[in-house]
Copies of this chain bind each other. A is one copy, B any other.
């Protein structure tokens, strides 16, 4: 029989506003990450599991599905549910450079080099799905990690959506400001490429002329499909690279 790994009892709070299936999933995830449920082992079957935790099978299934989607478990009909190797877990997230630097323990600093409201260039208006000539807040920023310049960033945000203020931008990342205004970026289209630095770019970024730069242009939309941001960024290839976790 083999049985399958024993999932420790969990305490569920049915009065909590946190959904039951989510409580179960979170608990399960913890136990997998802490090694209580070893990698490669099979879970008990859904029915027993649901029974022991005192939830219905659909709720149990939903919790498991949640972890399956995150790549922690795999299910095979007729066989069972197995814990997969914890190498890759989280799919690509929509983060900003600012967040990335914060997470990696660096201290990001931003110098605003340009800040104005002006009609969007046609190409940007099109990317944002705005009528030609619509006004956007146009920003040029230089981002430092420690004392070294890291990226030269150009962004455009429709003024109709958010009236950005220079002072706010000096303290927070653009994405934080967008989120704070309820404009949560949910989908984005990014193009990542490379090219050589022009003399002007090299001077700003403290590189030599012709140095390889990583380019990234992005349009971001909120959940309702409203374009919230256009960005065109230049990174010093010697100091930065993109890391992506893909699934499916």
Contact = CB atoms under 8 A, between A and B. Distances in A.
Nearest to A237: B194
Interface stretch (A88-96, A97-105, A144-152, A170-178): A88-96
A187 B243 contact: no
A44 to B, nearest CB: 19
Contact of A189 (B84, B86, B243): B243
Given A92-B92, A92-B244, A248-B186, A85 B192 contact: no
Contacts of A237: 193-195, 212
Contacts of A225: 39, 84-88
Interface string A212-248: 1111000001011111000000000110111111111
Interface residues of A, number: 48
Given A193-B242, A244-B244, A226 B85 contact: yes
A8 interface: no
Contacts of A247: 94, 186-187
A246 B212 contact: no
A1 interface: no
A82 interface: yes
Interface of A: 39, 71, 74, 82, 84-88, 91-94, 129, 186-196, 210-215, 221, 223-227, 237-238, 240-248
